[in-house]
Amino acid sequence: MNTCLVLIDAQESFRQRPYFTATDLPAYVAAQNALIDGCLTQGIPIVRVFHVDGPATVDNPFSRESGWVRPLAELRDFEPTATFYKSRHSALVGTGLDVWLTQHGIQKLIISGIRTEQCCETTTRHASDLGWQVDYCLDATLTWDMQQLDGSTLSAADIKARTATVLQGRFAALCSVQQALERAAAA
């Protein structure tokens, strides 16, 4: 089965946001780099997706003009098989990624990147609905604490647990990096 790693929004733009903290960054980077290395070793194509939106000005970190729409500095340097730019939550909306995946006979996606509950989860649900098999690498995703309506904090760990709960068995197989690489090798 043809597999592809879809690396979503792992970009410097987030470092410019007030909610960005380095608390979970080292664990995420270690997992993401291990996933990249494993895919490169197995010859699995890696598609990089960047998020761009808002005004095309230098002070908007999600505009290309800002210079922040580039890979996180801590990520392993590699040449992606393809790069796509999105302006919606799903990497499959308006980017041409779906066409590229179909043209290349890709049947299974490994999803990783930033943010766990937002673009990674949305792309996973969308991909599943379109018929792709999805392995969701929770340890190779990153998110941050969020404020709830009552003002209390919902921790990044709780957000990840919620994402795992709603995706597992319905939209994706939840996998560690090692499990995703083993599943890709077995396919």
Q: pLDDT for 90-104, tens place per residue?
A: 999 999 999 999 999
Domain that holds residue 57: 3-186
Q: 8 forms bridges with which residues in the sheet?
A: 49, 113
3-state SS class at 186: helix
* pLDDT digits 0-9 by tens, 18-51: 999 989 999 999 999 999 999 999 999 999 999 9
Angle ∠(80,166,143) on CA atoms, nearest 5: 50
Model confidence band, residue 148 (pLDDT cutoffs 50, 70, 90): very high
Whether the per-residue pLDDT at 1 is higher than 70: the answer is no
Domain count, the chain: 1
CATH of the domain at 31: 3.40.50.850
Helices (H), 43-176: 97-103, 121-129, 156-167
What is the rounded average pLDDT for all residues in the chain? 97
pTM for the model stands at 0.97
